[in-house]
Amino acid sequence: MIRSVVRGFGSSLPARVVTNQELESMVDTTDEWIVQRTGIRQRYLAGEGETTASLGEAAAREALDRAGLMIDDIDLIIVATSTPDNTFPATAVNIQHRLGMKHGVGFDLQAVCSGFVFALTTADAYIRTGLAKRVLVIGAETFSRILDWTDRTTCVLFGDGAGAIILEAVEGEGTIADRGVLTTKLRSDGSNKEKLYVDGGPSTTGTVGQLRMQGREVFKHAVGMITDVVEAAFEATGTTADDVDWLVPHQANIRIIDGSAKKLGIPLEKVVVTVDQHGNTSAASIPLALAVAAGDGRIKQGDLVLLEAMGGGFTWGAVLLRW
Ligand code: ACO
């Protein structure tokens, strides 16, 4: 059985760090409110010349270096983003060009904060069906560019950045002892659009628009959605929370992360948290967190890693993989 095994990882953050204290001078907020309600202490914001494609390219180059691969070794690039450089062409095609890739294919995938989980699932399907041998999966965002910087209820929550992993086809035994992606579970439901959306778009207003969120409403749905897909992933693989070495959740809010881990029965020592440093970077948050925890040696080869996310749409999903 072909498995999609992680061969390399990388990340990239903008140069500029913005602390909660700095935001106090921009909107009516306090460091204490932001830390208490969200766990966020700082975020990185893209400056001049830094875009979703430039951050994604830098993360991809790091992943290629770490994997010891050249861009010619990659068949497919999938970029999960809701903040593309242009409405079209796709950011993946832009990054393909920046990396000097003259063959193969790239496309974007849009599932907001669940984007990386959706992109991994798509990459895994390409690999398992033999359509691709090595896939570069990137989550890259510049949410700072779609925020309303006068709205304190949203602008304090988000940050910019990118993370990437390379998945490679490897023959496995077909058991959960295999390295690679073991199962993926995705869901979406469009009935709650008004709770989290961007109020513009090419086909409606002809503008980019700004992010609007009913935070408390999103919060109410989050833990239930996350635990549903994670439990489905456990059931599909015959695993339990006890088998998980690392939970790497989408980094939206420390209270959602803690609440989900508690409901799933995963101790907090096994949860990778970067929301304090990065804020919510949407589709970039999971690959950024993976790069931190694999980079500092916490996630090791053979570890069972659980990824989960929920976001605008609503979309939600989980991936269980052996590193
Ligand atoms: N600073 C100070 N006060 C604030 C701020 C701020 N930045 N923002 C809101 N407040 C005030 C509100 O005005 C409100 O005041 P009031 O009681 O006088 O009306 C009070 O704080 C409480 O507001 P709530 O919205 O009820 O606060 P809550 O505890 O729900 O926290 C938060 C808000 C952090 C947004 C939380 O609801 C949350 O994290 N929601 C989930 C967001 C999320 O996870 N999104 C993930 C998906 S993102 C994506 O897909 C793009």
Closest CA to 256 of 287, 280, 290, 222: 222
Do the beta carbons of residue 305 and residue 77 sit within 8 Å? Answer: no
What pLDDT shows up at residue 124?
98
| Radius of gyration in angstroms for the set of CA atoms belonging to the chain, rounded to a whole number | 18
Q: Same domain, yes or no, for 30 and 59? A: yes
If one residue of 146, 216, 315 were mutated to test the ligand 1 pocket, choosing by the most ligand atoms within 8 A of its CB, it would be: 216
What is d(CA 56, CA 54) in angstroms, rounded to the nearest whole number? 5
Quickly tell me which residue has 């809701």 as its tokens: 82
- The b-or-e profile of 105-122 (16+ CB within 10 A means b, else e) is ebbbbbbbbbbbbbbbbb
How far, in Å, is the centroid of ligand 1 from the Cα of 123?
Answer: 34
Domain shared by 100 and 216, yes or no: no
Residues 153-189 have pLDDT tens digits of: 999 999 999 999 999 999 999 999 999 999 999 999 9
Tell me if 312 CB under 6 Å of ligand 1: yes
Atom of ligand 1 nearest to the CA of 155: 7
CA–CA separation, 129 vs 322, rounded Å? 19
| The two three-digit tokens of residue 179, written as one number | 């390295």
Domain final position from 108, 136, 171: 171
Task: Name the domain count of the chain.
Answer: 2
Closest CA to 64 of 140, 138, 143, 149: 138
* Contact in structure between 81 and 140 (CB atoms under 8 Å): yes
Beta bridge partners of 307: 248, 319
- Measured from the Cα of 114, ligand 1's closest atom is 50
Domain limits at 238?
A: 180-322
Q: Which atom of ligand 1 is nearest to the CA of 29?
A: 1
Ligand 1 atom nearest to 312, measured from its CA: 50
Closest CA to 187 of 32, 319, 305: 319
Interval between CA 33 and ligand 1 midpoint (Å): 9
Predicted structure pTM score: 0.98
| CA terminus-to-terminus distance, the chain | 17
Q: What is the mean pLDDT of the chain?
A: 98
Q: Whose CA is nearest to atom 11 of ligand 1?
A: 153
The answer to whether residues 163 and 23 belong to one domain is: yes
| CA of residue 248 to ligand 1 center, whole Å | 23
- Select from 27, 40, 143, 218 the residue to mutate for testing ligand 1; criterion: most ligand atoms less than 8 Å from CB: 218
Instruction: Supply the pLDDT for residue 39.
Output: 98
Same domain, 11 and 148: yes
Whether residue 16 has its Cβ less than 6 Å from ligand 1: no
Among 171, 193, 209, identify where a domain stops: 171
Å from CA of 12 to ligand 1 middle: 28
pLDDT at 177: 98
pLDDT confidence band for 274 (50 / 70 / 90): very high
Q: In sequence order, what are the residues at sequence separation of 6 or more whose Cβ sits closer than 8 angstroms to the Cβ of residue 222? A: 252, 253, 256, 259, 260, 310
Alpha-carbon 287 to chain mean position:
5
Which residue of 195, 219, 226, 285 sits with most ligand 1 atoms within 8 Å of its CB, as the best mutation to test the pocket?
A: 219
CA distances (Å), origin 192, targets 197, 220, 314:
9, 12, 6
What CA–CA distance (Å, rounded) separates 70 from 281? 27
pLDDT digits (tens, 9 = 90+) for 224-244: 999 999 999 999 999 999 999
The CATH number of the domain holding residue 12 is 3.40.47.10
- Last residue in a domain, options 140, 171, 202: 171
Nearest CA to ligand 1 atom 7: 152
| 237 plus 315 within the same structural domain | yes
Looking at residues 143-147, what average pLDDT do you find?
A: 98
Q: What angle do CA 297, 267, 243 make, to 5 degrees?
A: 75
